[in-house]
């Protein structure tokens, strides 16, 4: 139970700060029907937990073994992050059942994958945080920790979706568009920082 609680608290510390996944879930909760909100949350949880497990089990080791892979992930990921941010700036939010963002399930699935797995900072941070923590666990502690981390993702994203969805009725389309633009600007800034890190990693400056 102690190790499970460690995984739970570490997981909450990992997912709670506002980032790409949270902005994706918030935007969905503000613009889509309740059923789609929870589908979105569950899909994000799936990719978030899978990323956490991959980082925990040593995705970083692969990037260290193949140096060019880290460069590919950082360079391509930064461009994708910027693209997502620009999309939010250009999007026009709607209160009518979220028609403007009522994308097919397969696209929702792939978009959530991009938001989660194509975020190089999440890969790097997750590997550093979870990989380092794994080294401190006793024998047999891996599974309880993973369950704790997974529980944190489920608890956070379902709670976030519910709260934002319930409060969403108080927002009008003007506010939604402002939120879209703010979130888009934050994501673009984040993507530019990643791109700058890629430029420095390549030794171009």
- Could you tell me the pTM of the whole model? 0.69
pLDDT of residue 98: 37
Tokens of 133: 């923590």
Query: Residue range 115-139: average pLDDT?
Result: 72
Is it the case that residue 156 has pLDDT exceeding 80? Answer: yes
Tell which residue, 168, 173, 185, 184, has the closest CA to residue 28: 168
Q: Could you report how far apart the first and last alpha carbons of the chain are, in Å?
A: 49
Mean pLDDT score across all residues of the chain? 78
CB–CB of 126/58 below 8 Å? no
Predicted confidence band at 45 (pLDDT cuts at 50, 70, 90)? very high
For residues 108-125, give the mean pLDDT. 79
What pLDDT shows up at residue 19?
Answer: 63
Q: What is the pLDDT of residues 180-203, one digit of tens each?
A: 787 788 878 878 888 898 888 888
Poorest-pLDDT segment among 33-42, 63-72, 124-133, 145-154 = 124-133
Query: What percentage of the chain reaches a pLDDT higher than 90?
Result: 10
């Amino acid at each position: 139970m102690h190790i499970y609680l460690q995984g739970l608290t570490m997981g909450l510390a990992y997912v709670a700060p506002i980032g790409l996944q949270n902005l994706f879930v918030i935007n969905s909760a503000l613009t889509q029907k309740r059923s789609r909100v929870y589908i979105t949350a569950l899909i994000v949880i799936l990719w978030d937990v899978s990323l956490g497990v991959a980082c925990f089990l040593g995705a970083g080791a692969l990037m260290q073994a193949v140096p060019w892979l880290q460069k590919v992930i950082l360079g391509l990921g930064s461009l994708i992050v910027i693209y997502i941010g620009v999309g939010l700036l250009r999007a026009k939010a709607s209160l009518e059942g979220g028609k403007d963002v009522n994308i097919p399930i397969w696209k929702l699935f792939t978009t959530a994958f991009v938001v989660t797995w194509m975020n190089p900072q999440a890969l790097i941070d997750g590997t550093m945080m979870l990989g380092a923590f794994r080294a401190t666990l006793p024998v047999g502690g891996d599974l309880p920790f993973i369950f704790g981390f997974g529980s944190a993702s489920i608890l956070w994203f379902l709670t976030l979706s519910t709260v934002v969805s319930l409060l969403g009725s108080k927002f009008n389309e003007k506010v939604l568009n402002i939120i879209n633009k703010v979130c888009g600007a934050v994501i673009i800034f984040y993507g530019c920082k990643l791109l700058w890190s890629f430029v420095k990693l390549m030794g171009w400056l």
